[in-house]
Amino acid sequence: MQVAVIGAGSWGTTVAHLCASNAPTTLWARREDVAAEVRDHHCNTAYLSGYQLTPSLHATASLEEAVGSADLLVMGVPSHGMRATAKKLSPYLRPWVPVVSLSKGLEQGTKLRMTQVLGQELPGRPVGLLTGPNLAKEILAGDAAASVIAMEDRSIANALQEVFATDLFRVYTNHDVIGCEVAGALKNVIAIASGMADGLGTGDNTRAAVITRGLAELTRLGCAMGGEPMTFAGLAGMGDLIATCISTQSRNRYVGEQLGKGRGIEEIIAEMSMVAEGVKTSRVVMELGRDHGVVLPIAESVYGVVHEGRRAADAYRGLLGRNMSSEMHGMPDA
């Protein structure tokens, strides 16, 4: 099986590294110098400085070269570039080739999930996603991790397990594409809230409350959109949420922490070399909440700080001032 991974950011590069241990793999980088470094020196210093990549991993800046002979296409570009990149490579991709998204975001304007975007631009191909609590540098360092390959066709998902899995990277299957995808997108918004709590100097009690109530929010929205409740208790939901909310490697948590310290969102984003998906996702999540009649107080607070200029301290005071209700209010079957 020939694997093409599109996008040479930290996670795209890491997934290509994993796949290259199991199958011939080509990583597409937008910049030729990045492709040359991966191909010739087996590293990607722009995103993963100090980490060595599998020597068998090939890299190119040509979409045609990367995609033309692919039996599996892995899309590792951010949500805002997903549609345009898929459109560019579509003439080179053969029919029926499975497509797997790595992006944990939602499309602005359309409010579509990434698998929906890929389904529109690459029709007639099975589409799914790889998601879970997966911090790129820890995986490259050799730490054990687990992930989920979510596809409606279970036979394809079972086959793809063998492509992504290694001795220390365990891959489970899940047929609930909607639930896995909504969880991956909304957890980035909750991670900004968790980071704001850290930046404000609150303690572990506050962090635990934000994570737990954040899990309730993504479960309510995910189920309203067609996801299955148990998905949100698994790797794609609770697992990914915990890792993103507490890790110092989390870009979204970092954004929240800086907001909690009083910095402006424009200044924070300008200094970052990688995308924090939760910033733009917070706007789409609020729109989806209104569409589905789901109340999302933590996401609403993040939206207020990121897009409306509210102070993080004021947002937290607003959360504490909400009316009290049952812990299971609004949850499926509650």
Catalytic residue among 88, 137, 187, 280: 187
Predicted pLDDT of residue 327: 60
Residue pair 22/42 in contact (Cβ under 8 Å)? The answer is no
Angle between the N-to-C axes of helices 177-199 and 277-292, in degrees from 0 to 180, rounded to the nearest 10 = 120
- Whether the full predicted model's pTM is greater than 0.85, yes or no, is yes
Give the residue-averaged pLDDT of 62-81: 96
Tell whether the model's pLDDT for residue 323 goes beyond 60: no
- For residue 331 the two structure tokens come to 């949850």
pLDDT in tens, 116-163: 999 999 999 999 999 999 999 999 999 999 999 999 999 999 999 999
pLDDT in tens, 165-219: 999 999 999 999 999 999 999 999 999 999 999 999 988 888 899 999 999 999 9
First to last CA, the chain: 46
| pLDDT above 70 as % of the chain | 95
Q: How many CB atoms lie within 10 A of CB 155?
A: 10
Phi, psi of 52, rounded to the nearest 5 degrees:
-95, 140
Distance CA 114, CA 130 (A): 12
Does the active-site annotation cover 187? yes
Strand partners, 322: none
What contacts 63, CB < 8 A, 6 or more positions away? 6, 28, 88, 89, 92
Q: SS3 letters for 67-82?
A: HCCCCEEEECCCHHHH
Residue pair 15/102 in contact (Cβ under 8 Å)? The answer is yes
Question: What domains sit in the chain, N to C, each tagged with a CATH number?
Answer: 3-175 (3.40.50.720), 189-320 (1.10.1040.10)
- For residue 167 the two structure tokens come to 């001795």
Question: Higher confidence at residue 110 or residue 314?
Answer: 110
- pLDDT confidence tier of residue 221, bands split at 50, 70 and 90: very high
- pLDDT confidence tier of residue 325, bands split at 50, 70 and 90: low
- For residue 33 the two structure tokens come to 């110098």
Reported residue count of the chain is: 334
Look at strands 145-150 and 127-131 and give their pairing.
antiparallel
- pLDDT confidence tier of residue 324, bands split at 50, 70 and 90: low
Predicted pLDDT of residue 193: 94
Coil, strand or helix: which one is 28? strand
Phi, psi of 179, rounded to the nearest 5 degrees:
-60, -45
Residue pair 174/236 in contact (Cβ under 8 Å)? The answer is yes
The candidate with the shortest Cα–Cα distance to 232, out of 297, 174, 161, is 174
Exposure of 218 by Cβ count < 10 A (0-12 exposed, 13-18 middle, 19+ buried)?
A: buried
Whole-Å CA distances, 296 to 188, 197, 210, 292: 14, 17, 12, 11
Distance CA 157, CA 266 (A): 40
